[in-house]
Chains A and B, each alone.
Chain A
């Protein structure tokens, strides 16, 4: 450990790079106490290592094959127009969120009625969001 070895050398030489205020009795008492308080034994090392291996094993055995969820950034401000209505923004949010799991068709009331009468094989759900707009989930 480069820095630590350097620090050890610094300590052994009785100095350090910092410009901290030094009050030798107090500083030495603090140093001595902290260094003696938690001795590191081989048993402690083994216990930590065994626990680490168990955690690594648990960590690596998690299903890593699942693809990471793709978070699409929302449309930049310059792509948004002042004509965006509240409904359009909601629909954009819906499609941004669910685009990876389904495709959506947007239709008006006439297409909705036609879809009800002649359901298409690739359309599994029809959702009436608001009069004039429907969403078909393919």
Chain B
């Protein structure tokens, strides 16, 4: 019931946007900006870029409000736009890359290894973060949508417009790529980490 009410609220916000009421954008922004920002940040690995992409995402929401089907939930649409914007940004950045791409990567990602950020992360988490950042884009997106956004394979398939089997395959190979990079040295830590409920709670 709560879900239906929320969906109605999204629809009413979009209707107001269609009517030219830009203030309705604030309601949708407060509801979704955090997920959009964190998704973009996890994919691009750059907070500043993620802020920019989040703004672009809601700008597109404003622009395409007349064409959005209010009978469908808004979240998948926002995730799809976020992934597409992230892909566009990463593609453009890769074209600008030169041979010292590691250095450039650090320069365009100032917050990535900032001292305060480094201190927050344990060695294992840094290893995981680095391993995720080195995944192919398609695998990284699936990892982010699945583990960060908590989406099912079916939902990810709808967002990426690909079969569930493809999503499952990408997730499988992404996990297989991550596993050896973490190494056996981290096994004791991995076995002692908190559960899902503790993480989300």
Bound CA–CA A5/B35 (angstroms): 11
Pick from B3, B29, B62, B190: contact of A2, CB under 8 Å: B3
**Among residues 1 to 47 in chain A, which have CB atoms less than 8 Å away from a CB atom of chain B?**
1-8, 10-14, 16-21, 23, 25-38, 40, 44-45, 47
Point out the residue from A11, A30, A60 that lies within 8 Å of B178, measured CB to CB: A30
Interface size class of B (residues with CB under 8 A): 35 or more
- Closest Cβ of chain B to A13, distance in Å, is 7
Give the Cβ gap from B23 to chain A, nearest Cβ, in Å. 11
Q: In the docked arrangement, what's the CA distance between A23 and B33, Å?
A: 30
> B52 near A1 (CB under 8 angstroms)?
no
Which segment of B82-90, B91-99, B100-108, B118-126 sits at the interface?
Answer: B118-126
Within the complex, the shortest CB–CB distance from A128 to chain B, in Å, comes to 46
Question: Which residues does chain A contribute within 8 Å of B68, judged by CB atoms?
Answer: none
The smallest beta-carbon distance between B13 and chain A, in angstroms, is 12
Contact of B31 among A1, A8, A11 (CB under 8 A): A1
Residues in A with CB closer than 8 Å to B147 are 27, 30-31, 34
Among A8, A17, A51, A52, chain B packs the most CB atoms within 10 A around the CB of A52
CA distance A98 to B139 in the complex (A): 48
Q: Is A48 an interface residue (CB 8 A)?
A: yes
**Interface contact B195-A56, CB-CB below 8 Å:** no
Task: Select one of A1, A16, A21, A56 contacting B25, CB under 8 A.
Answer: A56
B7: min CB distance to chain A, Å: 5
Known: A28-B195, A29-B124, A55-B55. A34 touches B148 (CB 8 A): yes
Q: What residues on B are CB-neighbors of A49 within 8 Å?
A: 26, 29, 33
- Assess A2 versus B73: contact at CB under 8 Å? Given A29-B128, A33-B128: yes
Chain A interface size, as a band, is 35 or more
Task: Evaluate whether A12 and B201 lie within 8 angstroms (CB atoms) in the complex, with A3-B73, A52-B58, A56-B22 already known.
Answer: yes
Do B50 and A3 touch across chains, with their CB atoms under 8 A apart? no
A130 at the interface (CB under 8 A from B): no
Q: Residue-by-residue, is B175-201 near A (CB-CB < 8 Å gives 1, otherwise 0)?
A: 100110010000100110111110111
Is A59 part of the contact surface with B, judged by Cβ < 8 Å? yes
A4-B25 contact, Cβ under 8 Å, with A32-B125, A40-B34: no
Which are the 4 A-B pairs with shortest beta-carbon distances?
A7-B150, A25-B190, A18-B152, A2-B3
- Report which B residues bind A (CB closer than 8 A): 2-4, 6-7, 10, 22, 25-26, 29, 31-35, 37-38, 41-42, 47, 50-52, 54-56, 58-59, 62-63, 73-76, 120-121, 124-125, 128-129, 132, 143-144, 146-155, 168, 171-172, 175, 178-179, 182, 187, 190-191, 193-197, 199-201
Q: Which residues of A are in contact with B by a Cβ distance under 8 Å?
A: 1-8, 10-14, 16-21, 23, 25-38, 40, 44-45, 47-49, 51-52, 55-56, 59-60
